[in-house]
Structure 1
């Protein structure tokens, strides 16, 4: 069980993330051992654990830091994230995730649905056991609603050429940024911080999540499948039009729109044509600029956090900067 190499430079956090992974493993106990193994392999496949990392770090600013609870809530957050990934792979018909076959590819959609549902249940069991107030459970349920609303919003716009940048931002605000916001907010709230401070941390998490998703979409046009561990151009082939493409559409509609007009899955050749038109435009650069703006908003807010504990504040700033320059 090896953590992503990025955590080697943060030994204090690395130890807690290792404990988070261990608890996740111990919490997965299914009668169907094949599916249990598949879930464990996905958990162990080198995910960055960014959401639990932010949860753990913001927990350090509270007055009632309970290490066991902090690790349990971090595990719950990552289980929730993993469940959404399994369900995403079903909807997107994806065969590869984190450089290995998805659960749906190995066992079929039905088994993958139940595997994702099992992780949802395990997540809420940990929350019920360790969350100290109904407010945290309410935050979690409201966040789940926003995540699903974002996913449904994206699905509703499949193959829709006229999707706007504002609609794209609204969808990723739910499907990605909300879980970052939840991670930061619960980390603060459950460690005894005030509700207003938890709200501040949630806003920071939201900006981090927005930057993260925009950069994830940029990687589709700048990296190989091997580098990012999943197929590139899969979104555009399935009618999901992300920010680099939306900017390119505004710049060069006459060449790009005809390729998307048939409103059905593109061939690899057609997707490659779209790729070349997007990369030839300023779409990627404009998307990077927006990601930088969200990151800078988060960094400014992080600088205003209390000075102590210094290691937590410094680590938050450092990993937030690292996200902006990631290549996978």
Structure 2
């Protein structure tokens, strides 16, 4: 099973993540073999598997370290994440992810939507078999509702130049941070960790998710198509205005408005002008400072968790997310 190279320094975790992928694949059984093959290709497309990794590590917080159960919960969470990615790509009209063609670009939107819906079903099939309690299952159902609400909020705000930092953070809280929080919380609760420690895990995951998305949005301005595996500055082209742009616009809204008024008609020259304006008004630098603050908040919650070998790994992985280039 193909597991991202970022886990090469964590051989035990890498092996567990490989088992997570195998478990997901074992639940994908579709009569239409084209659909089945396409979904399995997504499973092995080389994603970072951050959410299941955090879940697996947080499953070591409490006294009950049931590896099989921890892997099953991690698999359910990654399946949920993959389902949202498929739907994201349809909404964003993205042609590639991780450097390979998206499902809707290879086939069509209907095909992609049904594939995403199928993965939602797989997620809850796995959870229903392995979750400790019905309350946990219900909790994840509510979490999925919040994730989808974040996606709808993003869709509703397209090409709205009046978006504020508060609007952006609210959107990220549902769209990205929720699933990181659920991943850490689910691992902790399945390990029978105390109520206090499960909430520490939840808060840690939330802050990690906020920092992760801010960094992801920063990289949209700094990276290139080959390293990111997706088009650069794709968000602006789709009318999704993220933190570097929002911060830069606060300094001089009038400089940006004529460009943003072009919406989907932005030219390559316009994109260069926007990049220069964002650099001039230090949008990226200000966004980096906020990502650092969320990372610091995550480390503060991590410090409150019980000691154990898992803790140093959480430190290292969380710190690395702030310094990543892809």
What TM-score, normalized to structure 2? 0.97
> 2:147·2:175 contact (CA, 8 Å) conserved in 1?
yes
Shift of 1:315: 0.4
Aligned to 1:100: 100
SS at match of 2:16: helix
1:110-154 deviations in Å (ceiling 9; x for gaps): 000000000000000000000011221121011111111111111
Shift of 1:303: 2.0
Instruction: Specify whether residues 251 and 86 from structure 1 end up closer, same or farther in structure 2 by C-alpha distance, changes over 3 A only.
Output: same
Aligned to 2:297: 297
Aligned to 1:224: 224
Q: CA separation in 1, counterparts of 2:133 and 2:114?
A: 29
Shift of 1:275: 2.0
Aligned to 1:182: 182
SS at match of 1:182: helix
Q: CA separation in 2, counterparts of 1:11 and 1:204?
A: 24
Q: CA separation in 1, counterparts of 2:88 and 2:62?
A: 34
Shift of 1:164: 0.4
Give ranges in structure 2 of 5+ residues lacking alignment: none
Shift of 1:48: 0.6
Q: CA separation in 2, counterparts of 1:285 and 1:128?
A: 44
1:239-289 deviations in Å (ceiling 9; x for gaps): 100000001111232221110124445333322321222133300000011
1:277 and 2:273 correspond: no
> 1:221·1:279 contact (CA, 8 Å) conserved in 2?
no
Aligned to 1:165: 165
Aligned to 2:117: 117
Shift of 1:41: 1.4
1:326 and 2:319 correspond: no
How do 1:246-261 residues align onto structure 2 when only pairs under 5 Å count? 246-261=246-261
What do you get for the CA RMSD once the two structures are aligned?
1.2
Aligned to 1:198: 198
- Greater shift, 222-231 or 297-306, is seen at 297-306
1:141-182 deviations in Å (ceiling 9; x for gaps): 111111111111111111111110000000000000000000
1:60-90 deviations in Å (ceiling 9; x for gaps): 1122221111111111000000000000000
SS at match of 1:220: helix
> 2:200·2:304 contact (CA, 8 Å) conserved in 1?
no
Shift of 1:15: 1.4
Aligned to 1:288: 288
Q: CA separation in 1, counterparts of 2:216 and 2:253?
A: 23
Q: CA separation in 1, counterparts of 2:211 and 2:180?
A: 11
Aligned to 1:316: 314
Q: CA separation in 1, counterparts of 2:110 and 2:304?
A: 47
> 1:77·1:183 contact (CA, 8 Å) conserved in 2?
yes
Instruction: Specify whether residues 280 and 38 from structure 1 end up closer, same or farther in structure 2 by C-alpha distance, changes over 3 A only.
Output: farther
Q: CA separation in 1, counterparts of 2:177 and 2:153?
A: 14
Shift of 1:55: 0.4
- Greater shift, 153-162 or 49-58, is seen at 153-162
Q: CA separation in 1, counterparts of 2:90 and 2:76?
A: 22
